Amino acid sequence: MDFDLPDTALAVREGVAAVAAKYDHAYWSRCEDEHRFPAEAWRDLADGGWVGLCVPEEYSGGGAGMLELAVACETLAASGGTAGTFLYILTPGFGAMTLARHGTEEQRRRILPGVATGETQFCMALTEPDAGSNAIEIATTARVDGDELVLRGQKVWISGVENAAWMLVIARSTQAAEAKERLGSRTAGFTIALVDVPAALAAGTLSYTPIPKLGGNIVTSSQVFLDDVRVPLSNVVGEVDEGFAVLWDVLNPERILAAAGGVGGAEAALRLAVDYATEREVFGRPIGANQGIAFPLAQLKAKVELARLMTYKAAWLFDQGRPCGNETSVAKLTAAQVAWEAADRAFQTFGGMAYSKEYPVERLFRDSRIGKNIPVSEELVLAHIGTQMLGLPRSY
């Protein structure tokens, strides 16, 4: 059993850290306050090859795997760009990883070189207003019409539409009840389509409305409306009615990257708290000398290390083509929890000054909270662990 990171992952950590060092907390706070995409950081990451990491080499990418991608995401978040987790989920995760594993040769040749250079960005549309976390019951339809797929429905909390060239849309080509009767399973009947976002916007068949939100405003999250969006069947990822197997290979990377971002975010918050506790003196000594300050930070450091270990394990299993659902769930749960706890403890360490925008603690506090709800809620993760890992009876 070898716990050393491979040289490829170490090189990624070093390379991303070198780029991230150019963008301090103040930069990320400005992007957040201005609701502005961090275009400068994105361009530098892309130019260094750190966006196209998992694009296969034959399409001008780095040919790396999930482990290297997780290390890149963690490193960016740890530098202070905690919302930068979205950057790695949206394009390398949803885009490059999905097409590398499930795209046709034509799709990969047409799209992946742009992903490798950072020119092409992705988003994914799964969540719906009425289905929520129950993806089986999504209502967006995909109807075959000749050599095209016609998409109709509504999605919500879709991040990054404003910059995306392509949107992965998950729709029902066969409704759940019919799928169970005709195809043998309620998870059958899903189809995943690549929507050309600029073309659909120009045609007036796709529109979106931004949702005002608490944090993570370096990317917009929107309601998306699909009004008979027409997609060539050549843009289907996988097969019509058989998209659920593809979907798992979209959702597991999303959760692994969310976990990696949580680990990095926790490290960023801890570093702020430790530096402040070392420098701030009250009653003639640094406040970090007080066990009431030091012990909670030490406890969180231990939790960060545990979350990192499980995140790397989940990523490694994914790269090996082995089942990783349980490990992914544990990684996502623990990383989200420690990111929130670390931001909260940093807030407490700074005291009242944490409430001021003079310090980045308030941004980390806001960025970290959403991780307990997305990309899957803490309660659903616990339900999975309870039923799948402990063998407890289902409640439904």
Give 55: exposed, middle or buried? Use CB within 10 Å, 0-12, 13-18, 19+: buried
163 by DSSP, 3-state: which?
helix
pLDDT score of 369: 96
pLDDT score of 396: 66
Residue 68, token pair as written in the block: 């290297």
Report the percent of the chain where pLDDT is more than 90: 91
The candidate with the shortest Cα–Cα distance to 256, out of 192, 322, 339, 335, is 335
Distance from C-alpha of 53 to C-alpha of 58, rounded to nearest angstrom = 12
Distance from C-alpha of 334 to C-alpha of 307, rounded to nearest angstrom = 6
The candidate with the shortest Cα–Cα distance to 168, out of 213, 209, 115, is 115
The answer, as to whether pTM is greater than 0.85, is yes
Partner residues linked to 148 by β-bridges = 145, 232
Contact 167, 125 (CB under 8 A): yes
pLDDT score of 395: 79
The candidate with the shortest Cα–Cα distance to 142, out of 153, 157, 126, 130, is 153
- Residue 73 has φ and ψ, to the nearest 5°, of -65, -45
Q: Residue 97 carries which DSSP code? A: I
In the chain, DSSP finds a helix count (H) and a strand count (E) of: 14, 10
Contact 354, 347 (CB under 8 A): yes
pLDDT score of 325: 94
Contact 176, 136 (CB under 8 A): yes
The candidate with the shortest Cα–Cα distance to 123, out of 17, 62, 197, is 197
Low-confidence ranges of the chain (pLDDT < 70): 183-184, 396
What type of residue sits at position 283? F
Give 208: exposed, middle or buried? Use CB within 10 Å, 0-12, 13-18, 19+: buried
- Residue 19 has φ and ψ, to the nearest 5°, of -70, -45
